[in-house]
Amino acid sequence: MHLRKHSGEKPFQCSLCSKSFSQKCFLTTHQKIHTGEKQYQCAHCSKAFIIIISMTVHQRIHTGEKPFQCAQCSKAFIENSKLVLHQRIHTGEKPFQCAQCNKAFIQRSDLTRHQIIHAGEKPFQCSQCSKSFTRKSNLTEHLRVHTGEKPFPCSQCSKSFTQKGSLIKHQRIHTEEKLFQCFQCSKVFTQRGNLISHQRIHAGEKPFQCDQCSKSFARKGKLIMHLRIHAGEKPFQCSQCFKTFTQKGALTRHQRFHAEEKPFQCAQCSKSFTQKGDLTRHL
């Protein structure tokens, strides 16, 4: 049986789906998928499993047990495979590479979803605006734009989000968890994307170029905001005076005038300002 690992021999074939296995016991376990047999039942929630190890891992959700801990950030997981995936965040390892565009991913499932983009397949269509998506989960998230639903609330500041990933990123603000460090200046970030954008400052790299005036930017978000100048687009409107702005930050600064909010205070004379730039000029 051991030699089959090296030879790749799989003599035990499923009669229903033709999948093959190196050992008969693996075939027997697999066949339960077709029969629907789940003999291992969780005592806490009645959920059942084909193999006992799956039930053992599941029960840790109820007990809160997380025996697999990351040595770098102390984050813990209910199973070893989740820890292995997490550790790739620290190492930057992305073993699953797309053969068409060389983009790499931490998980095989992420690569599989990515490859749908190249196929041009978007089977999940929004019934309200006809926008289509490669994944059902993306459609579900998109529908919240229409419904205004934000099912992921922050337990610390009452802010809510349409996506769980957005909530997780936001929560790092409260925990001050910063996993991604720049090796050139030791600055740390809560998101890998922010680190990559920051590193372009050191490299002088500006890969996002405006096709109308040739101005370049280190971040795509900055290019998008810049393009609004050419388009005359001002999507952020003040609810009190209806003035519009190209950037959300500009709207936020403007709204302080209505609220008479002056968050930037001079440490020497206690005079306050609505904008940081005004405080800088005052100094």
Q: Would you state the pLDDT for residue 67? A: 92
Q: Of 37-51, 67-81, 167-181, 221-235, which gets the smallest average pLDDT?
A: 167-181
Mean pLDDT comparison of 96-100, 162-166, 179-183, highest-scoring range: 96-100
122-200: which CATH number, 3.40.50.10440, 3.40.50.300, 1.10.1060.10, 3.30.160.60? 3.30.160.60
What rounded mean pLDDT belongs to the chain?
84
Structure tokens belonging to residue 37 = 């047999």
Q: What is the pTM (predicted TM-score) of this model? A: 0.41
Residue 176, pLDDT > 70, answer no
Residue 89, pLDDT > 80, answer yes
Q: What is the DSSP string of 149-175?
A: ---EE-TTT--EESSHHHHHHHHHHHH
Q: Would you state the pLDDT for residue 4? A: 61
Task: Reply yes or no on domain 206-282 having CATH 3.40.50.300.
Answer: no
Q: What angle do CA 68, 74, 76 make, to 5 degrees?
A: 35
Chain region(s) in the chain for CATH 3.30.160.60: 122-200, 206-282
- The beta strand positions in 174-256, using DSSP E, are 180-181, 188-189, 208-209, 216-217, 236-237, 244-245
Q: What angle do CA 76, 167, 181 make, to 5 degrees?
A: 60
- The beta strand positions in 63-119, using DSSP E, are 68-69, 76-77, 96-97, 104-105
pLDDT tens by residue, 192-246: 788 888 888 888 888 888 988 888 888 888 888 888 888 888 888 888 888 888 8
